[in-house]
Every structure is written in C-alpha cells, then in structure tokens.
A = this chain, B = another copy of it.
Amino acid sequence: MHIKYDPVRLLLVFDLLATSVFALEGALAAVQGRLDLLGLMVLAFATALGGGILRDLLIGAIPPNSIRDWRYAATALTAAVIVFLAYTHLSRVPSILILTLDAAGLSLFAVAGAAKALQYGIHPLLAVLMGGITGVGGGTIRDVLLARVPTVLRSDVYATAALLGAAVVVAGWKLNVRPVWAMSLGGVACFALRMAAVWRHWNLPTVVGR
C-alpha cells in the first residue's frame, strides 16, 4: 500500500498548481483590503500554504512540506508580485473564471490532503477532515487575518465539496482502488459539486431555515 500511495511527484505538480491559484486569490483579497505589497505577499502565502501547513502540523509531517521545499513559498510570493504588477488586468478577469480555477484548486488540495493523511496512517474519518482542512484552511487563515468571519463557515457548499472529494479518496483507499483513480474521481466529485453549487446557488441548511 505504501508504494501504491507514494505519489510524490503527482502531489508536487498538484500542489504547485493549486498553490498558485490560491496565492493569486489571497493577493487579490489583500488588494481589496487596501494592503501594501508585503500584505499581498503575506496573504498570498497564508492563503496558498496555510491549509497544507495546518494539515502537516496535525498529522505530524514536520517541518511541513511547504517549509521543507522552497518552491511552494517561491510560487506564492511570485503570484503576489504578479498581482501587484498586473492588478488592473487581473481585476478584469471574469469572476466565473476565478470561481472555476478556485474550484479546481480546492479539488486538488482536498484530494492531495486526504491522500497524504492516509500515507501518514491517520484514521479514515480524520483523513477526510484533513482533506477538508487542506482545502479550506488557507482561506480561513486569510479571513481571520482580514478580521472577518471565514467565508467557508457561511456559504455555498464550499468546504462540503472539499470533504466530498476527500471522502471519495478515502473510500477508494478502503476499497483498494488504485490511488490515481481514487484521486481523480475525488477531484472530479469535489469540482462538480462546487461548480453546481455556484451555478444553482445551493447552500447547506441552517437551523433557522429548517
């Protein structure tokens, strides 16, 4: 099993792609919060790497991957500089494109996070939660730093989609499906649920709404 679940190179590519998307979003949020260049870098770093760092601290992968490997920090900081230099162009990007890229990044993080937790011998229930934390942890830290209630706690089947993707990976591992299939299927499930929720304005029920 360990050999089957050692998709280090796959995780690296997944992680760097998702890192750049999340870093762009963090830097854009920093611009809207009227922060300076350094604020953009901090929020890009925290949004992109916060979820994975939190997961790694919790599963005992210390130092966290993105502290061990300089490419993550370099990717996040580069994204912040790009936003700083090209904000006028980036702010014209249609929001549906950003939502789509974000859903893709969320899927990649959730799936990779659950797989890594399984590799570290974490119980399946917790591995699902670790996938969710990898997906939404960075955005949560970003919102805490901007002193607002994290959007993931409020809206639109966002964390739920991450948990679904992670659950598919864990289920596949339980059923001895090949990791690459389980991870692909989990990513598609997360992406599809998130996009459907955006499109149809789905929300989870609240106590008041019941």
Contact = CB atoms under 8 A, between A and B. Distances in A.
Given A67-B58, A73-B125, A38 B160 contact: yes
B125 A36 contact: no
Nearest to A147: B149
A63 B153 CA distance: 25
A153 B73 contact: no
Nearest to A148: B147
Copies in the complex: 3
Interface stretch (A17-25, A180-188, A198-206): A198-206
Q: What is the size category of the interface that chain A forms with chain B?
A: 35 or more
A208 B34 contact: yes
A207 B31 contact: yes
A150 B123 CA distance: 32
A31 B57 CA distance: 29
A70 B126 contact: yes
B145 A146 contact: no
Interface of A: 30-31, 33-40, 42-43, 45, 53, 57-60, 62-64, 67-70, 73-74, 83-84, 87, 120, 122-126, 129-130, 140, 144-150, 152-155, 159-160, 163, 203-208
